[in-house]
Amino acid sequence: MADADVAVARVLKHRLELDRLDYLRELRALATRLTAKEIAAELGGPPSAVEAALDEPVTDPRPGFSGATPWEVAQRFAVGQISREQVVDELARWEYPPTELTDGIDGLLVSPPGSFQEVFRALDRDLIDAEIYGEIVDRTPGGHAVTETNGAVGPDDDLVVLRVLKHRLDLARIDYVRALRALSNGLSAGQIAAELRVPPTTIEEAFAEPVAAPRSGFSGATPWEVAQRFAVGQISREQVVDELARWEYPPMGTPHSHDGLQVSPPGSFLDVIEAADSGLLDDESYAEIVTRRSDA
């Protein structure tokens, strides 16, 4: 298996972790004014899932920085969320707690959370390269001024942001599982776990997830996934309209006579209708998809 495939899986793993952090933080911000039940209703899931997420330990980013820890800052650089200049600046300005020796019996170092050991670990795990690490070390003693930009968003904006983060998290998991499956063509679960430095059980659990490969010529395995990728900015409006207009949909189910419910197979046009209803597609995009399908 090519080293490039392993590198892709590593990046996707970091992106998944970051998307989870972003989602949890936005969820907590929203929970200051909405109940778990109200949030669940907005996201279309059970309240228990929201409550479980709210119980997960997560720390807000340090003011003036893009993460809560040096490791998170390095992760955001590794996945392309911040620039080289920004990661160097932030990790050079970070106020690191001292790394201390133990009682002298074994000479072990004790590194508290947020210590410079996280920067060294980021270098060791290829989140940053040696040149960046050297520049951080050179600039650390001097420090730099902190520049902050604050923006206010309204209540409705918070919900929109949370929905986008939820979709981004779902897609990150899908991409990660697909990358792991691609690696499994040449590596065992144990070997993949060793490369990613995670327990083998997490790889085996990922393999068990029902994740289909994208349809050939499309950016997703389902119309819903295609719409999700548009909603989070991964594909353009032109692409989502083109793909969802070209998609070969199975027939939608007939409404039941007794209750009027309509049960449709996976991948039917109902996915597109629900995507529009959920805000993944704007009215104009949805209308153009319908028009192109009618003209085909």
131 plus 246 within the same structural domain: no
288 plus 178 within the same structural domain: no
- Count: domains in the chain: 3
Q: Is a pLDDT exceeding 80 seen at residue 265?
A: no
- Would you say the C-alpha torsion 136, 137, 140, 142 has a positive or negative sign? negative
Q: Is residue 282 part of a domain?
A: yes
11 plus 38 within the same structural domain: yes
Q: Are 127 and 77 in contact (CB under 8 A)?
A: yes
129 plus 188 within the same structural domain: no
Q: What is the pLDDT of residues 67-97, one digit of tens each?
A: 999 999 999 999 999 999 999 999 999 998 8
102 plus 192 within the same structural domain: no
14 plus 59 within the same structural domain: yes
Q: Is a pLDDT exceeding 70 seen at residue 190?
A: yes
Q: Is residue 233 part of a domain?
A: yes
Tokens of 9: 């899986």
Per-residue confidence (pLDDT) for residue 156, from 0 to 100: 58
Q: Is a pLDDT exceeding 80 seen at residue 296?
A: no
204 plus 232 within the same structural domain: no
Q: Is residue 151 part of a domain?
A: no
Per-residue confidence (pLDDT) for residue 260, from 0 to 100: 47
Neighbours of 211 (CB within 10 A): 17
38 plus 13 within the same structural domain: yes
Q: What is the pLDDT of residues 1-44, one digit of tens each?
A: 567 788 899 999 999 999 999 999 999 999 999 999 999 998 88
Q: Are 192 and 185 in contact (CB under 8 A)?
A: no
Q: Is residue 198 part of a domain?
A: yes
Per-residue confidence (pLDDT) for residue 32, from 0 to 100: 92
Per-residue confidence (pLDDT) for residue 258, from 0 to 100: 52
Q: Is residue 84 part of a domain?
A: yes
Q: Is residue 185 part of a domain?
A: yes
112 plus 25 within the same structural domain: yes
The whole domain housing 63 covers 3-139
Highest mean pLDDT among 32-41, 100-109, 116-125, 263-272: 32-41
pLDDT-derived band of residue 252, with 50, 70 and 90 as boundaries?
Answer: low
70 plus 176 within the same structural domain: no
Residues comprising the chain, all counted: 296
Per-residue confidence (pLDDT) for residue 247, from 0 to 100: 94
Q: What is the pLDDT of residues 118-171, one digit of tens each?
A: 888 888 788 998 889 888 888 875 333 223 322 333 445 678 888 888 999 999
Q: Is residue 156 part of a domain?
A: no
77 plus 190 within the same structural domain: no
Q: Where are the alpha helices (DSSP H) in the chain?
A: 3-30, 36-43, 47-55, 70-78, 84-93, 117-124, 130-139, 155-183, 189-196, 200-208, 223-231, 237-246, 270-277, 283-295
> Which has the higher per-residue pLDDT, 25 or 264?
25
Among 123, 139, 155, residue at a domain's last position: 139
111 plus 39 within the same structural domain: yes
Q: Is residue 214 part of a domain?
A: no
Query: What percent of the chain lies above the pLDDT cut of 70?
Result: 84
Q: CB neighbours of 240 closer than 8 A, spacing ≥ 6?
A: 226, 227, 229, 230, 281, 285
Neighbouring C-alpha atoms within 13 Å toward the C-beta of 10? 15
